[in-house]
Amino acid sequence: MIFLPIVGRELRVAARRRATHWTRTTVALGAVATCACFYVGNLDEPPHTQARRVFTGLMVISLVYSLAAGRRFTADCLSEEKREGTLGLLFLTDLKGYDVVLGKIAATSLNGFYGLLAVVPVLAVPLLLGGVGQGEFWRAVLVLVSTFLYALAVGIFVSAISREAPRAMGANLLLLLLLTAAPPLYGLAMNYQAFPNSYPFGFLYSCPAFPLVVSADAFYKTRAGDFWCSVAVMHALTWLLLSLACWIVPHSWQDKAGDSRRARWHERWLAWRFGNAAKRKALRQKLLNRNPFFWLAARSRLKPAQVWGVLLLIGAYWGGMCVAGRGSWLNDSLNPMNVVAAILFNCALKMWIGIEASYHLAQERKMGTFELLLSTALTEQDILKGQWLALRRQFLKPTLAVMVVEGLFLAASLREPRSDFPPWAAWLACLTLLVADMLAVSWVAMARALTARTPNLAVVQAIARVFILPSVVLVIVTGGALALAALQQRPEPGWGFWLGWWFGLGMAADLAYGFAAWRQLHTRFRRLASQRFSEIMPTALPDVSSGASA
């Protein structure tokens, strides 16, 4: 038998796929454009400073890409096979657990790895300017590849123990945060309490940002041991998670025979998730009277609690930072603690509502049950209203709580006498974009759920339109403005320019894509929902009467 047969097959299939080549080309062109923006934006600096800033900017973007792409590609690959009942067919052959796990990794992450590989030649451009050494370059490449494999291992492990797509995505993100963010925060707390003069760097070894920072020549001279220990810890966690996934997969696809103990735990879980029989009946009657699809999308009472739990974790982090900073948020509303907390609050709500808005619609379309729903007395407007009621039940109160917190930041900023920059303008724009982005990404995610091939792809397409595209345009505008200021030897644009472009691009994307999605849902819902059936059916039946008479 050929060693790793699934890996070999997936690599051959991917080599013939047109998207594989276009992915490398697109990512490489994006990296070149980003490099040009950083370079043009620093024309007035010395060559070694230009090289350092270009290299640092590309490294940070590549690190975020490695973490995001790695976990996205593998988050639902095995759990999807479980839901469709096809994972067990693979183990009817001589395949082992590592064959399936490595084959799934090769099938889902090849394009992402090619994208990362396409960035490496662009990262070498600063070498020509003399601001980056060869050792630093290769250490950065090692960290990026290790981070990509690290994120893949987290995704494949969570997918091996999960079955539902939302649970797999949420657990994937939670495990990644626990491994990369929790130890540094614990080390920071220990530093504040027990080691006020020295930070315990061992708590940073599992965070990919630490070896990327230490890979710089300025830090590597004194922290070489910490760099290699961090890389070793990341690889150890990677191979541990992969080994656990290989062991779990052959035992996780079967339907286990029920026993009394398992049945009791299952009943407790259902009671915790949906309530007891009386509560389920009361909730079902209440939601069905309002909207049947509302009950279908919102019958789990844990969904609002999960949002509150994540926000409380972020709030605990912010509170700990405020205690460590001795309440400095009252004196400076734009200090890093408040800014990071606002970014975490807003990103969590925006991404989560995009996932929830598309999941149920995409699942119904994928399973082919939209035809059943639309053949009932439910109209398209009933389905959209039910989805909105479910989103409101899950996200309205947490969103209002976040708006109250950011409103406190806004109120604190009104007392800050600043002549260079009014902080209240930034917080007002942040609050406005929070509401606008959540509305827009909800409409876009619901519209993409009716056309995308998979639920994950629907979420990615919605996020790319509402969040990523304005950010890319903002980076291009920033590079052009800085380059123009350097060429004309005039001061850089003020705060109004940056705030206006950030707010304007965000609102423009929300209005353009949000209104287009709203119109598409209200005018073409039934056609899009049944498109997967109409594509495979002939547009007209052949006329056999003439043939028969002949």
Q: What is the pLDDT of residue 540?
A: 40
In a domain, 410, yes or no: yes
Residues 321 and 409 occupy one common structural domain: yes
Residue finishing a domain among 211, 233, 254: 254
Taking the C-alpha atoms of residue 129 and residue 58, their distance in angstroms, rounded to an integer, is 15
The tens digit of pLDDT for each residue in 93-108 reads 777 777 778 888 877 7
- Predicted structure pTM score: 0.71
Pairwise CA distance, residues 219 & 213, whole Å: 8
Residue 162: φ, ψ to 5° = -110, 170
Q: Residue 532 above 60 pLDDT?
A: no
Distance separating alpha carbons of residues 62 and 146, to the nearest angstrom: 12
Q: In terms of domains, do 303 and 238 share one?
A: no
Residue 259 belongs to some domain of the structure: no
The answer on 343 and 295 residing in a single domain is yes
**Residue 333 above 60 pLDDT?**
no
State residue 329's pLDDT score: 54
pLDDT value at 429 more than 60: yes
pLDDT tens digits along 390-423: 898 889 999 999 999 888 888 877 776 665 677 7
Q: Is residue 543 part of a domain?
A: no
d(CA 391, CA 385) in angstroms, rounded, equals 10
Give pLDDT, residue 60: 85
| Full domain range(s) for residue 469 | 286-536
pLDDT for 449 equals 86
Residue 120 domain-assigned (yes or no): yes
Domain count, the chain: 2
| Shared domain check, 157 and 42 | yes
Tens-place pLDDT, residues 203-231: 788 888 888 888 888 888 888 888 999 89
Co-location of 250 and 292 in the same domain: no
CB 333 within 8 A of CB 427: yes
Are 59 and 31 in contact, with CB atoms under 8 Å apart? no
* Domain shared by 23 and 128, yes or no: yes
489: left (phi over 0), alpha (psi -120 to 50) or beta: left
Give domain status of residue 278, yes or no.
no
Both tokens of residue 168? 């797999």
Residue 507: per-residue pLDDT: 93
Residues 137 and 248 grouped into a single domain = yes
In a domain, 163, yes or no: yes
Say whether both 187 and 332 belong to one domain. Answer: no
Q: Where are the alpha helices (DSSP H) in 325-379?
A: 336-367, 370-374
Pair (197, 101) in one structural domain: yes
CA dihedral sign, ordered 504, 510, 515, 516: positive
Distance CA 377, CA 295 (A): 16
Has residue 129 been placed in a domain?
yes
Q: What is the DSSP string of 305-335?
A: HHHHHHHHHHHHHHHHHHHHTTSGGGT-TTS
pLDDT digits (tens, 9 = 90+) for 362-389: 777 777 676 677 777 777 888 888 888 8
Amino acid letter, residue 455: P
Taking residues 289-315, what's their average pLDDT? 80
pLDDT of residue 142: 92
- Last residue in a domain, options 208, 230, 254: 254
Q: Which of 254, 271, 304 is the last residue of a domain?
A: 254
Residue 310 has pLDDT above 80, yes or no: yes
Q: Do 298 and 156 lie in a common domain? A: no
Residues 254/87, Cβ–Cβ less than 8 Å: no
- Does 198 lie in the same domain as 86? yes
Q: State phi, psi for 60 to the nearest 5 degrees.
A: -65, -45
Amino acid at site 519: R
Which residues have CB under 8 Å from 541's CB, separation 6+?
A: none
Residue 514 falls inside a structural domain: yes
Verify that 129 and 248 share a domain, yes or no.
yes
